[in-house]
């Protein structure tokens, strides 16, 4: 991360708080963590948390750990751990330590015994249903379990038997003994350990009891000497429990939890549960489908790490929930790519155009700037021949007066070349336009006396003899409505946009683009930004449209928000 990137970040309540604490000498360094559960791929919402955690530590001279919150063996997999590491690295961040909540299972077990021995936890042998019913409601206090006041020695013996595998799943749970009448339901003797005879991806069959998220999280923070445990607002009500556990356990440090609003983006879903459904039910090709809001998906789509970091910085960090328009994400990509993507010519829906006064068999190599605003990117030669491809919608037979592209008898400039005039329109038996016959004005070439002659329109083109025939995939919003999960009575998958993917199988690209390596990105002039798909090969190129040149959605979104 560059230091200018950090210093351009606007202030927020977390940064202000940490700055004050650092200035008052409360901390020597700031240590944060990003704590994903390895049960799916990271999405753009996680990016907000990653950027915040890494930025705070870096800014105040500390570091960030990557901690896998792997306390639920049923849903966690090694492939998700690998994908998460790849995504965080790709975003541009280097964690100090790779940690796992499962690294602390021994310590957490000892902490549980500590609570038991101090009369602060007990084994409840009631079933889950009963425990849930006794929890009470927001207006009514909970009911104490008949096991609540059993002797500590009894709970210890049972807990040790649970750990030894002597009891089946569900035979008992360990609960913290806090207050069944607490207004905050999280404090009504929460379950902190469960029996689960299930192998764990990292600890194998060493354990058959697993700590709850709440019991593992704060203690893991303390073990790692995390100073600030930044998390999303839904954990605000868990903070009193987080603090209670830290106060009653012999932990090596005292972290503090601070909550911020999660990122929501319209026309998509940001929840692993829903994203998992999209993948498992085959609504998309996989976690890295370019329509997915996963980091793997938008990376394949062509998003750059810089554009995502810029986006996260722009949206800032607050305590109030909001929905960010998808177009804001796209604008950040456009801004980033506009500055650096080399320009190329490509025709997505080709129409044949014959230059009747261009000698047959001849090739004229024309000079083209790789980036008109950035001469450092140099120039390249593009071949002009008698037959070229132009975009179908750059020609209209019955054109309105303000149509400045090609029309019968009309003139247009070919980008990087010369002015042409449409002399003849060739149609098939069904009346479809199949070919245009045009003549070019040699005087309008660069360096010629007529080079400055003005016509209203300029269009792009590709030499038919040199064109690289390519599959191009165009993407649209994955959902048709701004908030697909809003209505509880409608399954969110029913809102999937059936036109979210359009495959063009005979796009024509400027020569050389078939050799574009993975990670390259181009502006196809007048069309948008495109990247080779990871599956693209020189003999069968495939390009993905990352984003269009202009925002066609901002207007729509404005209409929706009114
Ligand atoms: P999901 O809601 O998608 O299932 P999660 O919270 O279960 O996500 P975790 O792997 O537990 O996923 O999240 C890791 C971290 O990322 C947590 O600190 C969580 O608060 C944060 N996070 C998750 N989603 C968002 C979001 N939309 N915006 C900001 N931070 C998020
Ligand atoms: Mg979570």
**Three-state SS string across 204-230, please?**
ECCCCEEECHHHHHHHHHHHCCCCEEE
SS3 content of the chain, % helix, strand, coil (to 5): 30, 25, 45
Scanning 224-365, the segments in alpha helix (DSSP H) are: 239-248, 272-280, 295-301, 305-315, 326-340
Catalytic annotation present for 558: no
Whole-angstrom Cα distance, residue 94 to residue 89? Answer: 6
Q: Where are the alpha helices (DSSP H) in 74-151?
A: 78-91, 105-117, 128-133
Domain ranges of the chain: 3-99+216-332, 105-214, 344-467
Class of domain 344-467: mainly beta
What is the number of the ligand 1 atom nearest to the C-alpha of 275? Answer: 3
Q: How much of the chain, in percent, has pLDDT values that exceed 70?
A: 97
pLDDT at 343: 97
Region 105-214: CATH code: 3.90.800.10
pLDDT over 90 for what percent of the chain?
93
Query: Which pLDDT score, from 0 to 100, does residue 447 have?
Result: 87
CATH class of 3-99+216-332: alpha beta
What average pLDDT does range 48-58 have in this prediction?
97
- DSSP character at residue 137: -
Question: Token match 């050389």: residue?
Answer: 512
Confidence at residue 132, expressed as pLDDT on a 0 to 100 scale: 97
Please, how many CA atoms are within 13 Å of residue 158, restricted to the half-sphere of its CB? 22
pLDDT classification of 41: cutoffs 50, 70, 90: very high
The predicted pLDDT at position 392 comes to 97
The finding on whether 232 has its CB within 6 A of some atom of ligand 1 is yes
* pLDDT-wise least confident of 73-87, 159-173, 355-369, 541-555: 541-555
Atom of ligand 1 nearest to the CA of 230: 18
First-to-last alpha carbon distance for the chain, in angstroms, is 38
- pLDDT of 556 strictly over 90: no
Q: Atom 23, ligand 1: which residue's CA is nearest?
A: 46
At 519, the pLDDT band (50, 70, 90 cuts) reads confident
Q: Determine the average pLDDT of the residues in 321-341.
A: 95
- At residue 411 the predicted structure's pLDDT band, cuts being 50, 70 and 90, is very high
Question: Which of 38, 41, 46, when mutated, tests ligand 1's pocket best, judged by the most ligand atoms within 8 Å of its CB?
Answer: 46
Does residue 147 carry a pLDDT above 60? yes
**Averaged pLDDT for residues 502-519:** 94
Strand pairing class (191-195; 209-211) = antiparallel
pTM of the model: 0.94
Mean pLDDT over the full length of the chain: 95
User: Is the confidence at residue 3, as pLDDT, over 70?
Assistant: no
**CA 406 to centroid of chain Cα atoms:** 40
Q: Please work out whether the CB of residue 134 comes within 6 Å of at least one atom of ligand 1.
A: no
pLDDT score at 558: 58
Of 297, 331, 294, the closest CA to residue 314 belongs to 331
Start-end of H helices in 118-228:
128-133, 152-163, 213-223
Higher pLDDT, 3 or 96: 96
pLDDT tens-place string over residues 248-300 = 999 999 999 999 999 999 999 999 999 999 999 999 999 999 999 999 999 99
Ligand approaching nearest to the C-alpha of 37? 1
Whether the pLDDT of residue 396 is over 70: the answer is yes
Buried b (16+ CB within 10 A) or exposed e, 68-89: bbbbbbeebeeebbebbbebbe
The 3-state DSSP class for residue 37 equals: coil
In tens, the pLDDT along 447-489 reads 899 899 999 999 999 999 999 999 999 999 999 999 999 999 9
Among 470, 481, 561, CA closest to 508: 470
Of the listed ligands, the closest to the CA of 43 is: 1
The encoded tokens of residue 87 equal: 């995504």
- The whole-number pLDDT of residue 562 equals 44
Cβ of 5 below 6 Å from ligand 1 = no
Q: Which of 387, 393, 423 is nearest to 408 (CA)?
A: 423
- Does any ligand 1 atom lie closer than 6 A to the CB of residue 497? no
Mean pLDDT of 386-404: 95
By the 8 A CB rule, do 201 and 73 touch? yes
- Residue 2's pLDDT band (cuts 50, 70, 90): low
Digit-coded pLDDT (tens) for 212-255: 999 999 999 999 999 999 999 999 999 999 999 999 999 999 99
Cα 36 to averaged position of ligand 1 atoms, centre (Å): 7
Our answer on whether the CB atom of 45 is closer than 6 Å to any ligand 1 atom is yes
pLDDT band at 550; cut points 50, 70, 90 = confident
Q: What is the pLDDT of residue 551?
A: 75
Q: Are 296 and 83 in contact (CB under 8 A)?
A: yes
Over residues 158-212, the pLDDT tens digits come to 999 999 999 999 999 999 999 999 999 999 999 999 999 999 999 999 999 999 9
Residue 255 C-alpha to ligand 2 middle, in angstroms?
19
């Amino acid at each position: 991360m560059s230091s200018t990137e950090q210093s351009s970040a606007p202030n927020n309540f977390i940064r202000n708080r940490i700055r004050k604490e650092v200035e008052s000498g409360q901390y020597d360094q700031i240590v944060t963590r990003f704590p994903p559960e390895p049960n799916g791929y990271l999405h753009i919402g996680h990016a907000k948390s990653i950027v915040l955690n890494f930025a705070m530590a870096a800014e105040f001279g500390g570091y960030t750990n990557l901690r896998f919150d792997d306390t639920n063996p049923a849903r966690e997999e090694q492939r998700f751990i690998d994908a998460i590491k790849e995504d965080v690295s790709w975003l541009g961040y280097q964690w100090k330590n790779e940690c796992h909540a499962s690294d602390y299972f021994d310590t957490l077990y000892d902490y549980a015994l500590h609570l038991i021995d101090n009369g602060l936890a007990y084994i409840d042998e009631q079933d889950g249903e009963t425990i849930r019913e006794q929890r009470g409601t927001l207006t009514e206090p909970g009911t104490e379990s008949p096991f609540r006041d059993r002797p500590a020695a009894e709970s210890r013996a049972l807990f040790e038997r649970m750990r030894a595998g002597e009891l089946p799943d569900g035979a008992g749970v360990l609960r913290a003994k806090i207050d069944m009448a607490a207004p905050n339901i999280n404090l009504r003797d929460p379950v902190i350990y469960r029996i689960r005879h299930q192998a764990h991806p990292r600890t194998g069959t060493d354990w058959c009891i697993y700590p709850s998220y709440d019991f593992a999280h704060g203690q893991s923070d303390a073990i790692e000497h995390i100073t600030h445990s930044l998390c999303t607002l839904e954990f605000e009500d868990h903070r009193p429990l987080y603090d209670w556990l830290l106060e009653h356990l012999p932990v090596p440090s005292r972290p503090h939890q601070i909550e911020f609003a999660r990122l929501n983006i319209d026309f998509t879903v940001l929840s692993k549960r829903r994203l998992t459904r999209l993948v498992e039910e085959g609504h998309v090709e996989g976690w890295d489908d370019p329509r997915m809001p996963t980091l793997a998906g938008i990376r394949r789509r062509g998003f750059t790490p810089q554009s995502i970091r810029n986006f996260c910085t722009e949206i800032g960090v607050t305590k109030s929930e909001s929905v960010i328009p998808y177009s804001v994400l796209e604008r950040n990509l456009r801004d980033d790519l506009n500055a650096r993507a080399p320009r190329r010519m490509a025709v997505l829906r080709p129409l044949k155009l014959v230059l009747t006064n261009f000698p047959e068999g001849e090739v004229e190599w024309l000079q083209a700037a790789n980036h008109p605003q950035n001469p450092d990117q140099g120039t390249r030669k593009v071949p002009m021949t008698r037959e070229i491809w132009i975009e179908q919608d750059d020609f209209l037979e019955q054109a309105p007066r303000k149509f400045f592209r090609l029309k019968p008898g009309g003139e247009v400039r070919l980008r990087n070349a010369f002015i042409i005039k449409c002399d003849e329109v060739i149609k098939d038996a069904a009346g479809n336009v199949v070919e245009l016959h045009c003549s070019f004005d040699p005087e309008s070439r660069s360096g010629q006396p007529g080079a400055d002659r003005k016509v209203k329109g300029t269009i792009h083109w590709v030499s038919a003899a040199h064109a690289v025939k390519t599959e191009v995939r165009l993407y649209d919003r994955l959902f048709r409505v701004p908030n697909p999960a809003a209505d509880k009575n409608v399954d969110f998958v029913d809102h999937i946009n059936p036109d979210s993917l359009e495959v063009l199988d005979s796009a024509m690209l400027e020569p050389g683009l078939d050799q574009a390596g993975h990670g390259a990105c181009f502006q196809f002039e007048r069309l948008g930004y495109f990247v080779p798909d990871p599956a693209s090969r020189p003999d069968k190129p495939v390009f993905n449209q990352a984003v269009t040149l202009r925002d066609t959605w901002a207007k729509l979104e404005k209409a929706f928000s009114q």
